[in-house]
Structure 1
Amino acid sequence: MEPREKRLVFPFSAIVGQEKAKLALLAVAVNPLIGGVLLKGDKGTGKSTLVRALANVLPEIEVVADCPFNCNPKNPLEMCDSCYERYENGEELPIAKRKMRVVDLPLSVTIDRLVGTVDVERFLKEGKKALQPGILAEANRGVLYIDEVNLLDDYIADSLLDAAAMGWNTIEREGISFRHPARFILVGSMNPEEGELRPQILDRFGLCVEVSAPMNPEERIEIVKRVEEFHEDPISFYKKYESEEKKLTERIVKAREILPKVEISDDLLKLLAETVVNLGIKTNRAEIATIKTAKAIAALNGRRRVSLEDLEKAMELALPHRLRDRPFQNPPQMRPPKPKDDSKQDHDHKGDHKHEHKKEEKSERRNQESRSQGIGNLEQNFRSSEAKIPRIESKNFDGSEFTGYRSSRDVSVTVVNFPKGIPVSYVPPKGEIRDVDFYNSVICAMLNGKKPPIKLDLNDLRVRVRKAKAPTLWVLLLDSSGSMAVQKRISIAKGIAEKLVENGYIKKSKMALIVAKGNQAEIFVPPTKNYWEVLEKIESVPTGGRTPLSSALYNLLLLANRERMKDRSVKVRAFLITDGKANVPLFGKRIKEEITELARVLKKRDIELTVYDTRGRGINPGLSYVPILERVAGAKVHKV
């Protein structure tokens, strides 16, 4: 069956272009300790094809034949508890050769399936507690592939990160204590338009590559021809590239043999460290991943010494995704390192770095958000707008700088009989059974007097109670009417809106933007996790015209209803940035009556409203409807 599986996968060597992505994948195949690869790019650019094709060129590994964890029979440090006990007792472990596998991690995976759980069948028949291995066991010493990794649930990602960082999966649950190695090549792919990755997960990937479709017509024509040929006759197409695939496998095997002997000079190490410092990268994983990658590239080329070219290629793969200090910051431009030829050049080079470092310190004191040149216009506008935001005051505000919502406890929900979230308890089922707690069901059966082998009935079954993160929607309502142009209120409003987008990114909330201007409000951005799009729309919002506040609140209600039709558990938070004035009725009624009625519905629909009142201190002519929203809708009001 194995040769047939190979032919059904598009050959790695037949992929046109994408040389950086290929190099990154081959490097981690040589040295999995690099920490994995993240492929970022638009849909249809061949990210999944690259990863699945990698399986064809991965070499065979030796494993303990009767162990489900793919333990290394020659290294006790890479053995599970059971194999290590056998090894210590002097037992000769059976050895088998097996291809490295690419294991897919589905987005719908449960925590039990990921880390492992109780073997229910054995427990029911024999009454013994045994472990049923999870996906981390299957992926040990192989490749764990997560498509759309940015959409992975937080609690799953946290467990995955723990295993990836430690190299071990420790299972402590339901009376079972077990540990097995979980040393896998972590490969993820994502489309940035669907949302960004959490910084903690992003830093776990040793390498990151931007994958884009080639803009050369000849290359695109060649891609079409090869794909058509593969679809017409996969077997013949694979045979055409079979020799190239074998050469790649042999190259990886040879590189693994050379890798322990590869050396890097102190000059290159110093050059790398200086470059990382000058770029303002704080994590030590930057240098570690770069050195390991440079050595792997040298080994792939059959050399035992890292060259400057190897280091440059490694830096292009390991550093770009670590350049941002904060969300939505355009990273500084990377400059290729220059070798030092003699002591004079070395002295001059040091002087240059000292001079640059002093300049960076001055810049750091002026503005901590930028460390070097190359920050884009969007970030400069963001900083200039943010600088204009004065301190915000309110009844329930502590007087510190505006930071948005930092606690995520208020968006967690308790779910019963639903396989998402962290298990906290169990209860008897009501209605359809979807999330059975087998272990506690068996315990209940035994407490009811049943003995192994146990046959469960409906009275014995229990379903899990879980804590899960509720999906959230943050709606920004931006007043850009003519009155907001007074005293540059719109600049302050846009600065607040951009800060809210940054906090929404941290909380992984969906964002939407409604703009109140002219005769009616308009939904500028429907609910999305493409935070860059929201920022760009905020920047481009024009100012002028009348203030349709009623229309903005009505659009908010419509938006919330649509999202809750998809998922009833959605928590909706609205942030209204306005001077509180309104002069356009929605239904032909008096504006005060309309806003009072809409505010009452907002409270009834459990939509949490926060108002940022941009009116300055002193005399403000004209009626403000902010007090009505505070009194009727229960809005939290922050005075700017």
Structure 2
Amino acid sequence: MSRRVTFPFPAIVGLDKAKSALLAVAVNPLIGGVLLRGDKGTGKTTLVRSFADVLPEVEVVADCPFNCDPRDPQLMCDSCYARYQRGERLPVAIKKMRVIDLPLSITVDRLVGTLDIKRAITEGVRALQPGLLAEANRNILYIDEVNLLDDYIIDILLDAAAYGWNVVEREGVSVKHPARFILVASMNPEEGELRPQLLDRFGLIVDVEAPRDPEVRAEIVRRVEEFNRDPEGFYRRWEPEIKKIREEIRKARELVKRVEMPDDLLKTLVETIIKLDIRTSRAEIVTTRTAKALAALEGRTRVTMEDLQRAMELALPHRLKARPFERPKPPILPQPLINDNNTRNEQPGQTPNQRGGMLRDGMSTAQDEHSNAGTGGNVGGVDGNSRRYGVASVGIPVEFRKEFIHAGSHGLGSRSSFRRIVGQPHGIPYMYLPISNKEGSADVDLTASIVHAALRGAGLPIKVDWGDLMVRVRRVRAPRISLIVLDASGSMNFMRRIEVAKGLVRRIAEESYVKRSYVGLISFRGRGVDVIIEPTRNYWQVLSTLEGLPSGGATPLSAALACAVDLIKRLGLKLRGDYWVYVITDGKANVPLMKDVREELESFMVELSRLAKVVIYDTRPQLIYDPSITYIDVLSKYAVDTVRVGD
């Protein structure tokens, strides 16, 4: 069978920084891995696939499924170490390093290993069937679109990456083996942020962008077309370069132990990190290892300033943030403008839910109105069916302080909850139970049932009785979904209450970022709902929209609550979890949908409280605390907590 020809690593153009990062971790895996971050279609996956072809061979224990190092006892599984202790000569095999793909749909059993069914049936013994972490040991573990990986898989990867060992406790099997893999991943930031604990595990991060040089882009097209016409011929043309890089890596691995970092460069590095306010010692450790690896690749035993600068560009950018969302210049989303026909020029890539506008399908009586009469002071936007996004008049940045709010029992930082279910094929199976009439035949695990019959001593051929059937017991993570309903009407501009409200939104988004929960935003003003961002893990989308959010106009609170009810009903079918709705308002509703405002608020709050836990943030100033002109009492009646935002 002919081998599958990969695009040659040295033939890739325009990704020099990403190449340097991958070669550095190939020389010294202790650097901690590489994350390639960039837009789709920029060559990230192609680069990683071709990277496997330049990796040199390694020695492994020939009869060990865990790729143990035959020379280093610290990198041996329990079985190999026991043989080593007895003085047994371990058989050695030479294997080429490989890139092991971790699919997004991977199960826990496939990742960590599970019971060996064949031995359980034929021998009646419990033994481990190795998983993907066993294959990845002393290889490259590659995750495409890592930010879309399920959290429970990330938890396992974090444990393995932190300790370098995979501990398996499955169906009576207790085994541990080394899991010293180089973690390489790619992601598109538009699809959401990466969990901070996993982000810190990557020693190096490279932002991959399509080249801006027309000649470089033209050369990419020429090489791709040539490869497609004759893959084998194209590969043979670059084969001498591939062998050259492979030999450079092999020599650099031997040389890197002798590479020295001059004290003056080390002092410069530490002083720079302190000035950048990077609060982790891992920064200087990873940067030093990277600089030494880059020097070794060039055959030198002394780090230069150029090596250090290149290493800092790779190791420091993702460590500059001391807290979530600390960026020198937060990006502002493109502003839709008004044209001559009073319609918005929508930005490319916007979804209907992100474009804002009125509530449709008869939910607003002002659907076809273009008048601003009675809307109050509209700042930075136009009310009615045509509304543009402008820069909010409140330009002073405000950091949300703890004294602004008295934390209620709801807790913004609550973690996702877990539920134990039986008989439903959703979630992570972690144990099995004998079947009962209550579960019926739903979610029966045939493997566990056969193994149970075999271990019972049923003999061959195995006969599985009803009492041998085992159903899965699953653990389901119920993610927290935070939906923020923000009042951006004109009354919120009094005493700059909108600043405090935006600070609260920022805090909720930060907590969601840390806990990996979802956050969405509904903003309302004028005659309807202004902005809708469906619950997402792309937290910068929420914050960037918040930066340019206009304020002013009337207060269509009924429309906002109706929108929240409709959104949760629709999302609840595909995104199951604990829904929390945070309504930030002064309660001065003055735009009904069809009838009386109070009746509408009562009706929508009854429905909303049935679908989610509702928390009200009362932003009324102390100077104006007249209950007769607000509807906070109506909202609070159906909320789990009402929080007064201090002046």
With normalisation by structure 2, the TM-score equals 0.84
Say if 1:481 and 1:544, in contact at 8 Å, map to a contact too: yes
Say if 1:523 and 1:555, in contact at 8 Å, map to a contact too: no
The CA deviation at 1:128 is 0.6
| SS in structure 2 at match of 1:512 | strand
Distance 2:578 2:606 in 1: 18
2:578 to 558, 565, 571: 571
Q: Which residue of 2 aligns with 1:294?
A: 291
Letter in 1 for 2:404: R
* Residue 593 (str. 1) matches residue 599 (str. 2): yes
CA spacing shift, 1:249–1:125, aligned 2, 3 Å: same
CA spacing shift, 1:332–1:78, aligned 2, 3 Å: farther
Q: Which residue of 2 aligns with 1:541?
A: 549
Q: Which residue of 2 aligns with 1:108?
A: 105
| SS in structure 1 at match of 2:404 | coil
The CA deviation at 1:232 is 2.4
Distance 1:437 1:88 in 2: 40
The CA deviation at 1:388 is 6.8
- The structure richer in helix per residue is 1
The CA deviation at 1:466 is 2.3
Distance 2:329 2:588 in 1: 42
* Residue 465 (str. 1) matches residue 473 (str. 2): yes
| RMSD (Å) for aligned C-alpha atoms | 2.5
| SS in structure 1 at match of 2:476 | strand
The CA deviation at 1:533 is 1.5
| SS in structure 1 at match of 2:200 | helix
Q: Map of 1:313-328 to 2, 5 A cutoff?
A: 313-328=310-325
Q: Which residue of 2 aligns with 1:213?
A: 210
* Residue 615 (str. 1) matches residue 620 (str. 2): yes
Q: Map of 1:266-305 to 2, 5 A cutoff?
A: 266-305=263-302
* Residue 561 (str. 1) matches residue 569 (str. 2): yes
* Residue 66 (str. 1) matches residue 63 (str. 2): yes
Letter in 2 for 1:436: D
Distance 1:415 1:498 in 2: 35
Distance 1:382 1:427 in 2: 63
| SS in structure 1 at match of 2:397 | helix
CA spacing shift, 1:422–1:332, aligned 2, 3 Å: farther
The CA deviation at 1:325 is 0.7
1:408 to 404, 415, 439: 415
Q: Which residue of 1 aligns with 2:398?
A: 385
Q: Which residue of 1 aligns with 2:512?
A: 504
Q: Deviations over 1:501-536 (max 9, x none)?
A: 111212222222111111111343233222112111
| SS in structure 1 at match of 2:629 | coil
The CA deviation at 1:467 is 2.2
Q: Which residue of 2 aligns with 1:475?
A: 483
Note the residue ranges of structure 1 that are not aligned, 5 or more in a row: 334-377, 398-403
The CA deviation at 1:419 is 5.9
The CA deviation at 1:442 is 3.5
Q: Deviations over 1:297-344 (max 9, x none)?
A: 1110011111111111111111111111111101699xxxxxxxxxxx
Note the residue ranges of structure 2 that are not aligned, 5 or more in a row: 331-390
Q: Which residue of 1 aligns with 2:3?
A: 4
Distance 1:332 1:40 in 2: 19
| SS in structure 1 at match of 2:223 | helix
Say if 2:453 and 2:464, in contact at 8 Å, map to a contact too: no
CA spacing shift, 1:468–1:224, aligned 2, 3 Å: same
Q: Map of 1:208-247 to 2, 5 A cutoff?
A: 208-247=205-244
Matched positions, count: 579
Q: Which residue of 2 aligns with 1:436?
A: 445
1:580 to 571, 578, 587: 587
The CA deviation at 1:76 is 2.2
CA spacing shift, 1:500–1:117, aligned 2, 3 Å: same
The CA deviation at 1:221 is 1.3
Letter in 1 for 2:267: K
Say if 1:388 and 1:491, in contact at 8 Å, map to a contact too: no
Q: Which residue of 2 aligns with 1:634?
A: 639
CA spacing shift, 1:232–1:176, aligned 2, 3 Å: same
* Residue 193 (str. 1) matches residue 190 (str. 2): yes
| SS in structure 2 at match of 1:264 | coil
Say if 2:265 and 2:305, in contact at 8 Å, map to a contact too: yes
| SS in structure 1 at match of 2:277 | coil
The CA deviation at 1:390 is 4.4
Say if 2:259 and 2:292, in contact at 8 Å, map to a contact too: yes
Say if 2:523 and 2:529, in contact at 8 Å, map to a contact too: yes
Percent identity reads 54
1:184 to 163, 181, 198: 181
Letter in 2 for 1:120: I
